[in-house]
Chains A and B, each alone.
Chain A
């Protein structure tokens, strides 16, 4: 695993459909060596970003590199990246065994033993047609196909969005086991923080094509504090405390601040944040600013 090169590195990346920008001027670097969660509201550009990173789409502006190479730039590059597309598509008319043969024929690094073992563990009948599988089973098949090609980076686009809670949990469990077994970097998008909370150790919050916040999950949780105390202005807070959101009710003020130093002011009641609270705060508020101004759509 090479942590030096980014898993996905985008510079000024944009994709336009007619007059609508699905992704505009996006610059980000998702480090390798993590299970990185890409989270954001619907329409933030997650799927577009992933489609550009997997070479499914060509960018209108800017560049994107995956593991230091052009997306889908050639057989070698394709072999390094596994991709589970949104909706986990599979060939409806082909059986599970056919899908494994497909993988074996089309991937030089195919791990047939691994693929067979996974299918066995999942209890899938190799003769069953993919069109007859449940959504959860099909997602598992897509994951097996992506894992058995032995990629260095696995990209998943909302893999569990359409699954029921049980299938969702099973899928993420299988994913976590695979990450532990096969040293691989993962980038997984979701609009559900709860899904990412289970698996991700790195988080990128994307709102309106912009990275709102990114960092290791533990680090993010350790440096964000929810402060409640007597009413005061945001400007009166110490410079080391970056205000993410603020709300004022009567004589009370609540601030979500980011600070690398511990909050010691005794006037405050400091609360621990859940990852979900943190992400929602960033998704709801484009940038620190006066209360009441919410810029959910910050696209040009």
Chain B
């Protein structure tokens, strides 16, 4: 059974080997350059106020390396989906479609063993492929990920590794995704018995899961931390040049490098969320100004009395910043928990496939 499985899987295995080789060659050719740029930027020895160095390192990377960095996300998102579509969905469906399951099921091997060996070997290959890809991508991109943390989120487009696109494309979660996508494809194939519809269902279902889990499941995999502190007393004043809209910038004290911020709001002492606050990367902004602050905006610019009044009014409001967040140190615990979740789902789908094939005979 192992021989037959391998013989049938050979073309797909060859395709995967070629893809892995291409990724390995590209990573080996460009990875050392990125790593040495990181070393020469001084970031490995930087312990405080590294934001500028980090920005310089990232902006100093050549265009090709930046393209590869973006490509690595595409690769890590596509790989499990392709495994599910091209390895999982046809595994049983193609046999049923062409009638060859009648050949396989009438050799002296039970169909339970037949599907278990196929699931086991091809599933293992799927996990191994995703593992090797993740290993290479994680190694290649680690200087950029460190810089993204050190920059404190100041480089747009480069987020710390706990945030969605990076988290999904690093570490061990791609192994779980690959196992799940593969099992999803197999199950769709067993239930639908047609390759093409099974491929389509696999793609859609996997995409939906990949949207739902980061947004609604991952934040709760580990209980998030809570942070509350009074907003800083220093007040900046913003006037939007275009609309003329005036706003006061509230500086929240929350600064945790590499943190995954789930929610960041300004609350009143009663705990109620304050309306009239808009959040932007540079901080919270009060869009409806207290009356005392209006006088600050005279034609001649802020007058000292108005500013003082405004401050005291704001201070009397006792506004607080309330942040729900996952610390950077939870990267690996979250990775393993999510991988475990996907592996359990994959095992459940595998069980459905086996039970479905057995039932057609034993009912």
Contact = CB atoms under 8 A, between A and B. Distances in A.
Nearest to A95: B7
A59 B360 CA distance: 9
B362 interface: yes
A10 interface: no
Given A105-B3, A106-B4, A57 B106 contact: no
B107 A107 contact: yes
Contact of A102 (B11, B102, B107): B107
A58 interface: yes
Interface string B131-147: 00000000000000000
Contacts of B111: 72
Nearest to B114: A106
A59 B361 CA distance: 8
Interface stretch (A79-87, A239-247, A261-269, A290-298): A79-87
A58 B360 contact: yes
Interface in B90-145: 98-100, 102-103, 105-111
Contacts of A79: 108
A78 B106 contact: yes
B1 A105 contact: yes
A63 interface: no
Contact of A145 (B1, B103, B109, B359): B103
B96 to A, nearest CB: 10
Given A57-B360, A105-B1, A106-B4, A83 B110 contact: no
A6 interface: no
Given A85-B103, A145-B103, A78 B110 contact: yes
Nearest to A87: B99
A74 B110 contact: yes
A18 interface: no
B108 A90 contact: no
A78 B362 CA distance: 15
B8 interface: yes
Contact of A75 (B3, B8, B99, B108): B108
Given A92-B98, A105-B3, A81 B361 contact: no
A149 interface: yes
B362 A58 contact: yes
A166 to B, nearest CB: 24
A108 B103 CA distance: 16
Contacts of A87: 99
Contacts of A85: 99, 102-103, 106
A76 to B, nearest CB: 8
Interface of B is mostly: helix
B208 interface: no
Interface string B345-363: 0000000000000011111
Contacts of A54: 102, 106
A248 B363 CA distance: 50
B8 A55 contact: no
Interface of A is mostly: loop
Contacts of A90: 100, 103
Given A91-B103, A105-B4, A75 B110 contact: yes
B17 to A, nearest CB: 18
A89 B99 contact: yes
Contacts of B1: 105-106
Contacts of A105: 1, 3-4
A128 to B, nearest CB: 16
Nearest to B111: A72
A72 B110 contact: yes
A248 B111 CA distance: 56
| Of A57, A78, A106, A107, most B-chain CB atoms within 10 Å | A106
A67 B125 CA distance: 40
B106 A81 contact: yes
Contacts of A108: 108
Contacts of B107: 78, 102-103, 106-107, 149
A58 B362 CA distance: 6
Interface string A52-64: 0011111100000
B3 A57 contact: no
A58 B363 contact: yes
Interface of B: 1, 3-4, 7-8, 11, 98-100, 102-103, 105-111, 359-363
Given A78-B109, A85-B106, A89-B98, 15 more contacts: A57-B360, A58-B359, A58-B362, A58-B363, A72-B106, A81-B106, A91-B103, A93-B8, A106-B1, A106-B109, A107-B107, A108-B108, A142-B103, A145-B103, A149-B108
21 contacts: A54-B106, A56-B361, A58-B362, A58-B363, A72-B106, A72-B111, A74-B110, A75-B109, A78-B106, A78-B108, A78-B110, A98-B7, A101-B7, A102-B7, A105-B4, A106-B1, A106-B108, A106-B109, A107-B107, A142-B103, A146-B106
